[in-house]
Amino acid sequence: MIPILGLVLGIIIGVFIPFNIPSQYSTYVAVAILAALDSVFGGIAATMQKKFEMKVFLSGFFGNALLAAGLAYIGDKLGIQIYLAAIFAFGNRLFLNFAIIRRFLLNKYSKTDNIVEK
């Protein structure tokens, strides 16, 4: 429940508090947001599976976001588009976590239990 509340609160803050990010930082922010969303979806999936741990969630949320933005920055300095690897990795995990959530909800409402664990 906490990850969902955090996501809703973040969206509300983002909509009602105008903040412009300079275009030269847009890649870093986009990759960091993708990493943070991956952690949020992972937290939701873990909550549904009754495996949620706040320490794991917070360390993943901030650690993944900082690592992804840092890799994008280093890649820019080296002239290599390393951020594409982060986009692929976190995008893939985001869809996997969404699939777990979707299956859990479908099974919950259809009264069956066919969830495949990772």
Model pLDDT for residues 26-70, shown as the tens digit of each residue: 888 889 889 988 998 999 899 888 998 999 999 989 998 888 888
Overall pTM surpassing 0.85 (yes/no): no
CB 3 within 8 A of CB 44: yes
Spatial CB neighbours of 2, under 8 Å, sequence gap ≥ 6: 43, 47, 52, 54, 57
113: amino acid identity, one letter: D
Task: Provide the pLDDT confidence category of residue 19 given band limits of 50, 70 and 90.
Answer: confident
What's the pLDDT at 116? Answer: 59
- Mean predicted confidence (pLDDT) in 2-9: 80
Task: Provide the pLDDT confidence category of residue 25 given band limits of 50, 70 and 90.
Answer: confident
12: amino acid identity, one letter: I
